[in-house]
Structure 1
């Protein structure tokens, strides 16, 4: 089996059977259900046959349409347990993230997943050549995560982005560049989302060890750090304090939110003029 072929699990087959039964009972066509779940009718058929894994956004949407009894969500959990798309350590982040009332992060390599457009996410994920899931599945999962930023009571988000991230973005396909920059400028207009760029002129700064994230959860503040093969939630006070210290120091070297948006607008007008 090639890497990009979706795998089939027993839970996936059961999920598909229940989905088809419920669709037929509701007298809905595959296209009707696809419109509800934001996908094509042909993909609905593939999910029903157990050939494709459903996205969580699809499962939640159709579960609500069918009365919200949670059966499809429970089956989706079983699919994840049998054949996880993400390693367990990343699952820890995905479970904590929706519970956060505040998210602060620093990204030195790519734009934060919560702020990526679909085309930008697809380019990044394709470049990583995933082996445990298809590019479509991973992109759908990343897009589904972003709903938390636009729910009725969203978390406050403060994203600190290293300027080399924008330099790499500027070299991508022009359509991807335009869409992504317009998206960043647009989300920065929301009062609960603050963007700041750490300019390349800050040649030495406190966040040079890599990306990290801070979340305010009901039980307190936690940090999160990861590498290529592992990630870790940090709840010990000393560890969280050190992550916060580095974040605050790096933020002190960053452009103001207003200057950041102005720079994004200039980059949108002329992607060849990179540096601040």
Structure 2
């Protein structure tokens, strides 16, 4: 049976925002419960995403917190998004963790990615994706191809209106590692050069001689949303993934990316670097 997508990340986004709004109003959970005729436990469940807030209850909360206009509409849209199903649900091999990420990627305004060992999925050619996925996914009949299809479908995000604003810092290791062999990697690097010409895509290379840096621990992706308090960081692990949602921790990743960006080769020079690497394949 296909694994049904769960909504914990989107729900946590909404829950965190509701808690922030309560704190801005200077209210305690008990005071909110008293104003709305709820139990304190219900307020706690809503603010910890232990339960999805119902539309009627959400309306009462945002009225209490004096939220109006576009901010109000965004909160209502977040609540709807926590329950909606996306195109990725048609693929039986997309697990809940991956589906959560795709859903967030579909909604984000901007992505800031540091890729240490392999290229971000939005940048991959079909052949590169197939070679990479085949190494990390159980090669059951059709499973790799379905994962490749999902990855290529995600890439429409670069061209849909409005397109996502993508800024990637690639470690030189991701450029030099011959995923799929020299021919596949050469085509992949030529594809990178073409993508770098898009107005919404910036690609920089962090060369080996840049030395140690703030992201030696590995790759990460910062997802930026219309309201900065809902930004988050995605860190993929060998098995599973982690979302960093604490505002201060997200800010630290932002600073790390800025350091990487400053130490990386400028975009124009990076394109030339990638073309030279392709010629060397």
TM-score (norm 2): 0.65
- What's the offset of the Cα at 1:126? 1.1
Q: Measure the CA separation in 2 of the matches of 1:261 and 1:241.
A: 29
Secondary structure of residue in 2 paired with 1:94? helix
The superposition leaves residues 36-75 of structure 1 with CA deviations (integer Å, 9 ceiling, x where unpaired) of xxxxxxxxxxxxxxxxxxxxxxxxxxxxxxxxxxxxx979
- What's the offset of the Cα at 1:218? 2.8
Is the Cα–Cα contact under 8 Å of residues 101 and 217 in structure 1 kept in the other structure? yes
Q: Measure the CA separation in 2 of the matches of 1:78 and 1:259.
A: 40
Q: How does 1:74-85 map to 2 (within 5 A)?
A: 85=93
Q: Measure the CA separation in 1 of the matches of 2:98 and 2:89.
A: 17
Q: Which residue of 1 aligns with 2:238?
A: 228
Secondary structure of residue in 1 paired with 2:208? coil
Aligned-residue CA RMSD (Å):
2.6
Residue of structure 2 aligned with 1:258, choices 259, 268, 271: 268
Is the Cα–Cα contact under 8 Å of residues 121 and 139 in structure 1 kept in the other structure? yes
Q: Measure the CA separation in 1 of the matches of 2:138 and 2:145.
A: 11
Is the Cα–Cα contact under 8 Å of residues 225 and 233 in structure 1 kept in the other structure? yes
Q: How does 1:44-193 map to 2 (within 5 A)?
A: 85-130=93-138, 134-169=143-178, 172-193=180-201
Is the Cα–Cα contact under 8 Å of residues 88 and 94 in structure 2 kept in the other structure? no
Q: Which residue of 1 aligns with 2:247?
A: 237
Secondary structure of residue in 2 paired with 1:213? strand
Is the Cα–Cα contact under 8 Å of residues 89 and 99 in structure 2 kept in the other structure? no
State the aligned residue count: 199
Q: Which residue of 1 aligns with 2:21?
A: none
Q: Measure the CA separation in 2 of the matches of 1:252 and 1:76.
A: 37
Q: Measure the CA separation in 1 of the matches of 2:263 and 2:165.
A: 21
Matched, 1:196 2:204: yes
- What's the offset of the Cα at 1:78? 6.7
Q: Measure the CA separation in 1 of the matches of 2:130 and 2:280.
A: 23
Is the Cα–Cα contact under 8 Å of residues 89 and 232 in structure 1 kept in the other structure? no
Matched, 1:269 2:279: yes
Is the Cα–Cα contact under 8 Å of residues 106 and 213 in structure 1 kept in the other structure? yes
Unaligned runs of 5+ in 2: 5-83
Secondary structure of residue in 1 paired with 2:209? coil
Q: How does 1:31-50 map to 2 (within 5 A)?
A: none
Q: Measure the CA separation in 1 of the matches of 2:95 and 2:208.
A: 33
Q: Measure the CA separation in 2 of the matches of 1:77 and 1:266.
A: 36
Question: Residue 265 and residue 76 in structure 1: after superposition, are their counterparts in 2 closer, same or farther (change >3 A)?
Answer: closer
Q: Measure the CA separation in 2 of the matches of 1:167 and 1:97.
A: 27
TM-score (norm 1): 0.66
Is the Cα–Cα contact under 8 Å of residues 115 and 184 in structure 1 kept in the other structure? yes
Unaligned runs of 5+ in 1: 1-7, 12-72, 272-276
Q: Which residue of 2 aligns with 1:218?
A: 226
Deviation larger for 114-123 or 223-232:
223-232
Is the Cα–Cα contact under 8 Å of residues 205 and 264 in structure 2 kept in the other structure? yes
- What's the offset of the Cα at 1:157? 0.5
Q: Measure the CA separation in 1 of the matches of 2:213 and 2:183.
A: 32
